[in-house]
Amino acid sequence: MNTKELEQALIDYAINSVSSEEVAQVLNVDASAIQSALKDFNDEWNEAEEPEDADAVIDKWVEFFTSDAKVEDVMLSKHGYNDDYLTWTYMGKEYWAEGEFHVDDSGELHHTFNAPNGKEIEIVTPYNN
């Protein structure tokens, strides 16, 4: 992805020239997956008082949307049928999912995490009995 194109899409979004769908298209993600992040970006953009502040906001959010951060601190708590609890950390924030997860033939649990930057990340961890 071209970061200049993303910078321009974010600026255009902030000044209401393009929609979230158009920003998502630049990122190649589902628009619904980035709604919360775009709202936070827009709030920060609106609070910027100087052009340098606006530049810093753009730089921060370009880095956020292009980050290759990995899921960390994956922990599984098993509580019985359909009641497993999975926690993980992504970009310093804790997330969780609860319920029944896919476990493959080799005993690995698989869960797809839709990160706030729109990326789908597969979490794979051992599912030991």
Q: Check residue 51 and give its pLDDT.
A: 87
Q: Check residue 55 and give its pLDDT.
A: 93
Q: Check residue 82 and give its pLDDT.
A: 67
Task: Say whether both 58 and 7 belong to one domain.
Answer: yes
Task: Say whether both 9 and 58 belong to one domain.
Answer: yes
Of 46, 66, 86, the domain-final residue: 66
Structural domains counted in the chain:
2
Task: Say whether both 47 and 61 belong to one domain.
Answer: yes
Of 41, 66, 91, the domain-final residue: 66
Task: Say whether both 8 and 62 belong to one domain.
Answer: yes
Task: Say whether both 12 and 60 belong to one domain.
Answer: yes
Task: Say whether both 57 and 79 belong to one domain.
Answer: no
Task: Say whether both 58 and 32 belong to one domain.
Answer: yes
pTM tops 0.95, yes or no: no
Q: Which domain holds residue 87?
A: 72-126
Exposed, middle or buried: residue 99 (CB in 10 Å: 0-12, 13-18, 19+)?
exposed
Q: Check residue 2 and give its pLDDT.
A: 83
pLDDT tens across the length of the chain (129 residues): 689 999 999 999 999 888 999 999 999 999 999 999 999 999 999 999 998 999 999 999 999 999 999 999 999 998 766 688 999 999 999 999 998 888 999 999 999 999 999 999 999 999 875
- CA 43, distance to chain mean position in Å, is 18
Task: Say whether both 77 and 61 belong to one domain.
Answer: no
User: What does the alpha-carbon distance between residue 17 and residue 27 come to, in Å, rounded to a whole number?
Assistant: 17
Residue with token string 């896919």: 102
Task: Say whether both 22 and 61 belong to one domain.
Answer: yes
Task: Say whether both 15 and 62 belong to one domain.
Answer: yes
Q: Check residue 70 and give its pLDDT.
A: 95
Task: Say whether both 59 and 9 belong to one domain.
Answer: yes
C-alpha dihedral sign at 25, 31, 35, 37 = negative
